[in-house]
Every structure is written in structure tokens, then in C-alpha cells.
């Protein structure tokens, strides 16, 4: 039997019912408690299917945690190994090293899986054209 929420209207209706039941705090062994459990599961499944969130890029995760904890760039510098490194990381000029990821996980509590990501921007290497030396024609040496 496929029991799912299939429309936004039903989702909203069930969500309102969940809110109402949560406010009542029914005993799980009662009919209302069982109804709350079922509706909460249906709402959760609907939200997982329809409201997908992307992981933040590492710099966004770092900035968010710094804001939460009231930290400044100088505080980050102590964790990642210097002011220049902190500045380069926050401006997305330097990728995180494994040691930095470990330190950020340990000191700021940022999950490693948020910090270990491939960069989204492509790195392009522009090659400058080589300057070629013109071969000078061979001169015959004349005796003096």
C-alpha cells in the first residue's frame, strides 16, 4: 500500500494537523498519539522528496559558524595557520588542506563532509604564448 502525500494542499493540511497535535502532546499509546506519529512521518517523507537542500560550500559553512560563534577573521587565522591563509580561504583563493579541515572540525565543530568538497569553479590555466628567438642567419667568418 502506497501511503504518501501527493499534493501541496494535503501537505499543508497534514502539517496544520501535526502542529495542532503537537500542542496537545498526546500519549503515544492513544489514537491521537498514533495519528501524530503517522502524520509526522508522512510530512517528513514529503519534505524530503520536495524540499531538497544543497550543501553549503566550505567557505559559506565557515562564515556561518564564525557568525554563530561571534568569531572574526583573526580567530580563524589562529585555526588555519595565519592571517594570510585565513584571508585567502575566505576570498576563495586557497583551497582547504586536510590539516585545516581537521582543525576546523575540531575547533569549530563543522562537519568534515561540508568542508571536503570539490571546488565548483573551474580552474583554468592560461598559457602565455612563448617568445621564440629568431634564428640569425649564419655569417661566414672572414679572415682579418
pLDDT, tens digit (0-9, with 9 covering 90-100), for 49-95: 998 878 788 999 999 999 999 999 999 999 999 999 999 999 999 99
**Average pLDDT of the residues of the chain:** 87
CA gap 25, 62 in Å, rounded: 37
**110 within 8 A of 79, measured Cβ to Cβ:** no
Q: Say if residue 3's pLDDT is above 70.
A: yes
The Cα–Cα gap between 139 and 103 comes to 66
Amino acid 130: pLDDT: 67
Question: What pLDDT score does 53 carry?
Answer: 78
Query: What does the pLDDT read at residue 59?
Result: 94
DSSP code per residue over 47-76: HHHH---PPPPHHHHHHHHHHHHT--HHHH
**Integer distance in angstroms from the first to the last C-alpha of the chain?**
107
**Closest to 59 in 3D by CA, of 24, 84, 86, 27:** 86
Which of 1-5, 28-32, 109-113 comes out lowest in average pLDDT? 1-5
Amino acid 34: pLDDT: 94
Inform me whether the pLDDT recorded for 140 exceeds 90: no
pLDDT of residue 138: 61
Answering whether pTM is above 0.75, one says no
More confident residue, 2 or 113: 113
Q: To 10 degrees, what angle do helices 98-108 and 58-69 make?
A: 30
Amino acid at each position: 500500500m502506497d501511503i504518501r502525500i501527493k499534493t501541496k494542499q494535503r501537505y499543508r493540511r497534514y502539517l496544520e494537523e501535526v502542529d495542532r497535535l503537537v500542542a496537545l502532546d498526546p500519549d503515544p499509546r492513544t489514537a491521537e498519539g498514533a495519528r501524530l506519529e503517522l502524520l509526522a512521518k508522512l510530512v517528513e517523507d514529503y519534505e524530503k522528496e520536495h524540499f531538497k537542500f544543497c550543501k553549503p560550500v566550505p567557505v559559506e559553512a565557515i562564515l556561518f559558524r564564525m557568525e554563530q560563534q561571534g568569531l572574526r577573521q583573526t580567530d580563524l587565522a589562529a585555526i588555519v595557520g595565519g592571517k594570510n591563509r585565513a584571508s585567502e580561504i575566505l576570498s576563495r583563493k586557497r583551497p582547504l588542506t586536510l590539516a585545516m579541515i581537521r582543525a576546523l572540525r575540531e575547533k569549530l565543530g563543522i562537519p568534515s563532509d561540508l568542508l571536503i568538497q570539490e571546488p565548483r569553479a573551474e580552474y583554468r590555466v592560461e598559457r602565455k604564448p612563448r617568445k621564440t628567438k629568431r634564428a640569425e642567419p649564419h655569417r661566414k667568418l672572414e679572415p682579418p
